[in-house]
Amino acid sequence: EPEVTQTPSHQVTQMGQEVILRCVPISNHLYFYWYRQILGQKVEFLVSFYNNEISEKSEIFDDQFSVERPDGSNFTLKIRSTKLEDSAMYFCASSEGTDPTNTQYFGPGTRLTVL
Amino acid sequence: AQSVSQHNHHVILSEAASLELGCNYSYGGTVNLFWYVQYPGQHLQLLLKYFSGDPLVKGIKGFEAEFIKSKFSFNLRKPSVQWSDTAEYFCAVNAQDTNAGKSTFGDGTTLTVKP
């Protein structure tokens, strides 16, 4: 069964550094998402992406964050200058078709630790 | 904006006990409803979903949920839990009348099943 994959599984970085989290969505999916889960808290929506542009973003997704689909398979989340409070599990998800209410399939997540 | 409330933060049951986890949502329009499970050290997996039709939906691993529109609820049930059901359970909602597919998650319920 096709799966969403994410790399790396764990990223440790120093405060102020840039990080890029990578995701490979399921191949025929057209909607892509990033969520994050701070330890012990709920899963929070960051951004959705369709047709090479952002569809919706939350208030968390400020100017420090950006997303990109640099090629036909990868979907990346970049944090320009990481802060301690960016430490979290970051989940990528994708859904098929042009109906965004289709089921979202989640990747295994990248644990980001900012020191 | 939609919101989701899960009433039970931590539920502890013995094997073979029945389970019901509460989920209420708030949104003025039509919604899609989901239950996800996150086993220790693993990623989010879809248990079941409701878009329309029969309000009683059956998912994987013997789980079911009932959508009660008048109560804005989508409670998860299982008649007899097993030790392997120990996990975190998340209720989520997205709105059918938006075009971005953003899912809003509840805080999650930790289920511990004692053998």
The superfamily (CATH) of domain B3-114 is Immunoglobulins (2.60.40.10)
Q: What is the pLDDT of residue A97?
A: 66
Contact B29, B96 (CB under 8 A): yes
Is B105 close to A107, i.e. CB distance below 8 A? no
Q: What is the pLDDT of residue B100?
A: 57
Stronger pLDDT, B115 or A75, i.e. the higher one: A75
Provide the CA A14 distance to its chain's centre, in angstroms.
Answer: 20
User: Dihedrals φ, ψ of B62, to 5°?
Assistant: 80, 10
Stronger pLDDT, A40 or B35, i.e. the higher one: B35
Q: What is the pLDDT of residue A30?
A: 87
Is A45 close to B103, i.e. CB distance below 8 A? yes
Is B100 close to A48, i.e. CB distance below 8 A? yes
Band of residue A73 on the pLDDT scale cut at 50, 70, 90: confident
Extents of the domains making up chain B:
3-114
Is B100 close to A100, i.e. CB distance below 8 A? yes
Taking 90 as the threshold, does the pLDDT of residue A100 lie above it? no
Taking 90 as the threshold, does the pLDDT of residue B87 lie above it? yes
Extents of the domains making up chain A:
17-95
DSSP SS3 for A85: helix
Percentage of residues in chain A with pLDDT exceeding 70?
95
Band of residue B35 on the pLDDT scale cut at 50, 70, 90: very high
- Across the interface, of B42, B99, B102, the residue whose CB is closest to A45 is B102
CATH of the domain spanning A17-95: 2.60.40.10
Residue of B nearest to A110 (CA): B43
Count the Cβ atoms, other than its own, within 10 Å of residue B15: 13
Contacts of B39 (CB under 8 A, 6+ apart): B45, B86, B87
Kindly state the average pLDDT of the residues A68-96. 93
